[in-house]
Structure 1
């Protein structure tokens, strides 16, 4: 689109998470008027650590946000996969480190620090808290948004970055309900001292047991460790109650130092969630509305690509607006560019367990997300 067209573009982004905040930065740099509407009354992100891949960090470099992210993260060279009792299976460099003009490593970061850094580089007043979307009317060239607080907004482009339970997706693109994976995720952040001698660098380690995976993700810039456990479990309660004894049972047979870390956890500090994704969404856009991130392609966390995919969506959307002649053409180009990639990531992320493991926990059946899905 021409610079004058982009400067006259009024964009409303629903959701101030990773994808929404990154889109706000990328699109505001094009000269568009951007407003972000977030239903929460304050910005916050629970959970633990994630890895931002080189391609993601390169986007931040393009947007002038690299230093803000780097200041609250640790650069990582490799990831390692080990058996439950700490015998090496493989170690590889993060892919893409040398794909750019400047060596660009994966950066390990706490989710809270990440969202704070993303929001921190946006102009003051761009993010509007306490705005829960209750209705969207797609009028073709524009759309009208109605929020629970009575605010009504009209925009030339609406971006639904409102997560796995997206209101925008349900209203316009199909009621793809969250699908239970058959897994629980237990996440905590502990001090580096509690990691015994298991961590002496900035590299991610995954330990594979039967029906359980343990991830140790160093946050050495914080002197902390992200301690994450993913375990097969038939309980689909969104936020299940899990006892210390149940948690310890999931890591039985792991290296004694991992068991000790679990035993020493304060359960009040552990984020406990059943794990969900969605089936692929057939269409992501109309002529003036588009969904992205988890709203378009929520995926399981086995590949560590959820947040990265949202950032890459933001970059691809900005690129499409620059390349196309109109908003409608840009949204079609965005979907054509990103959907094949995220469809494949969704498919791969659902193949994280062996048939024997699944049959052990789900005798005679599979959780819906582990069944074959055509994409």
Structure 2
């Protein structure tokens, strides 16, 4: 479809998936005058389990989208990351890398996942959010697509954005039949009250405790008086949501600081997940369909970039649609801008934090911008 001379508000855009990427895409498109409908298979949209770090390239988009103040009010700034031994001895203490042209932008804003996605949804019209809509199939007619949902509901769209996650049915039908790759590890996640944390996070430094092949990620959410606690361990169990008891998690922490052990043993409501990613997908777009977020480039959590890259996808896609003459041209620009970056982050995300590493930030060499 030609975009030249056409009012953006006339475009019909359907976003499949109501996670970070889908919700961000809806907000981003709205900021350039494009109304998008968001379709989520669950009856309720929610995020549980852990905190995330929003990096400067991500936060910059929020200013353009009109949600910057809301995100700032629900987050706090971290200027340093530490890798420490299981006993708490500092291996690295480093400033966050400079990833924009702003020399002082060496930080991460720490936020709870529920607050993160909730902020996007608060800035969308309720009539544009369609819950309990499970996508059954998509038919690509070249210059438009048809989405069929369970229950015989059908819609037409000039553009379908597939933000349907690592097990994306749309990706497997149109772009790649490669299966998700099991990392051989589990993540056990919880958010605890700061008063129950035994002072393992006294400041806003994001810390990774490392002992052999076991990592404990401690991310402060002091604006909520909470701490995000994540234990990552090797496991042969590849089931997506393994059933693991607290006592089995604590067994992995025998050589850790007693405070880490005490925190772990007091948690009864871990979110347990096997960790998967995908290999880079060669092509993300057709003339009327685009992959976004985990559907395009699911990655492991070691570099904390999964959510960041999904939001940056949304921003790049909105800008491409704003500036291009046609939807196919916009989608080509979007892929050309984003894929080289996410390919590299997918590779880097497979590097576990280790005492043997030379830096806490393996992305520095590739992405850090040095101010002149």
TM-score, normalised relative to structure 1: 0.90
- Cα distance, 1:122 vs structure 2: 1.1
Write the distance in 2 (CA, Å) between the matches of 1:68 and 1:176. Answer: 38
Write the distance in 2 (CA, Å) between the matches of 1:114 and 1:271. Answer: 18
Asked if 1 retains the 8 angstrom alpha-carbon contact of 2:242 and 2:273, the reply is yes
- Cα distance, 1:316 vs structure 2: 0.8
Q: Which of 122, 125, 140 is 1:123 aligned to?
A: 125
Look up the match of 1:212: 214
Write the distance in 2 (CA, Å) between the matches of 1:145 and 1:82. Answer: 49
1:134-173 equivalence runs, <5 A: 134-173=136-175
1:1-375 equivalence runs, <5 A: 1-2=3-4, 4-96=6-98, 99-100=101-102, 105-266=107-268, 269-352=269-352
Write the distance in 2 (CA, Å) between the matches of 1:353 and 1:225. Answer: 20
Are residues 10 and 101 of structure 1, via their aligned partners in 2, closer, same or farther at CA, if it must alter by over 3 Å? farther
Can you give the 5+ residue segments of structure 1 that lack an aligned partner in the other structure? 357-375
* Deviation sequence 1:258-287 (CA, Å, 0-9, x none): 011112121xx1001111111111110100
Are residues 23 and 101 of structure 1, via their aligned partners in 2, closer, same or farther at CA, if it must alter by over 3 Å? farther
Write the distance in 2 (CA, Å) between the matches of 1:108 and 1:353. Answer: 19
RMSD: 1.8
Write the distance in 1 (CA, Å) between the matches of 2:323 and 2:155. Answer: 27
- Cα distance, 1:222 vs structure 2: 1.2
Write the distance in 2 (CA, Å) between the matches of 1:46 and 1:165. Answer: 19
* Deviation sequence 1:36-59 (CA, Å, 0-9, x none): 111111111121111111111111
Counting matched residue pairs gives 353
Secondary structure, in 3 states, of the residue corresponding to 1:4? coil
Write the distance in 1 (CA, Å) between the matches of 2:9 and 2:91. Answer: 52
Write the distance in 2 (CA, Å) between the matches of 1:68 and 1:113. Answer: 10
Can you give the 5+ residue segments of structure 2 that lack an aligned partner in the other structure? 357-372
Write the distance in 1 (CA, Å) between the matches of 2:5 and 2:346. Answer: 35
Task: Specify which structure has the bigger relative contact order, considering alpha-carbon pairs within 8 angstroms and separated by 6 or more residues.
Answer: 2
Asked if 2 retains the 8 angstrom alpha-carbon contact of 1:7 and 1:30, the reply is no
* Deviation sequence 1:46-79 (CA, Å, 0-9, x none): 2111111111111111111111111221121111
Write the distance in 2 (CA, Å) between the matches of 1:152 and 1:101. Answer: 49
- Cα distance, 1:179 vs structure 2: 1.2
Write the distance in 1 (CA, Å) between the matches of 2:106 and 2:258. Answer: 35
Are residues 163 and 101 of structure 1, via their aligned partners in 2, closer, same or farther at CA, if it must alter by over 3 Å? same
Secondary structure, in 3 states, of the residue corresponding to 1:80? strand
Look up the match of 2:367: none
Asked if 1 retains the 8 angstrom alpha-carbon contact of 2:76 and 2:222, the reply is yes
Secondary structure, in 3 states, of the residue corresponding to 2:254? coil
Q: Which moved more, 1:196-205 or 1:223-232?
A: 196-205
Write the distance in 2 (CA, Å) between the matches of 1:272 and 1:285. Answer: 33
- Cα distance, 1:300 vs structure 2: 0.5
